[in-house]
Amino acid sequence: MHIGQLARQAGVPIDTVRYYERNGLLPAPPRLESGYRDYPAQDVARLRFVRRAKALGFTLSEVRELLALSQYRDQDMADFRAVAGAKLADIDSKVAELTRIRDGLQTLLLACPGQGALGDCPILGALSEDIA
């Protein structure tokens, strides 16, 4: 199938197909005599896999690892689970950091009356303090 058909069926833009091909997530397809790429039908499933993994927050490197692991369907799932578990731990860490940031900003906003001299602003004061 041509690249446009592949992109439509996989639900991604044509540029994404080319990008994933350049980055080794999609094998380079054979070319027809006309020079057009001829993508096999299984590339639709591969692109959908990549799209879903990206939607869950996996990086291209992690997706590449998942794709490599997925080739061995008769193997134990422990390695695949470990990659997903590591991603979850990374996301939990980011959520905790964002929660800390949100709480700090919320505290500053609650302390600020929103009017008066800027020199008395607790937000400006907190951001301007010298850290020793």
Q: What is the mean pLDDT of residues 32-59?
A: 94
- The pTM for the full model equals 0.77
Question: Which of helix, strand or coil describes residue 4?
Answer: helix
Q: What is the mean pLDDT of residues 44-70?
A: 94
The string of pLDDT tens digits covering residues 58-98 is 999 999 999 998 888 888 889 889 999 999 999 999 999 99
The string of pLDDT tens digits covering residues 111-127 is 999 899 998 899 998 99
Distances (CA, A) of 21 to 13, 16, 46, 81: 13, 8, 11, 26
Asked if residue 131 has pLDDT above 70, the reply is no
DSSP state for residue 120 in the 8-state scheme:
G
Asked if residue 132 has pLDDT above 60, the reply is no
What is the per-residue pLDDT for 130?
59
Question: Which of helix, strand or coil describes residue 32?
Answer: coil
Residue the block writes with tokens 């397809």: 29
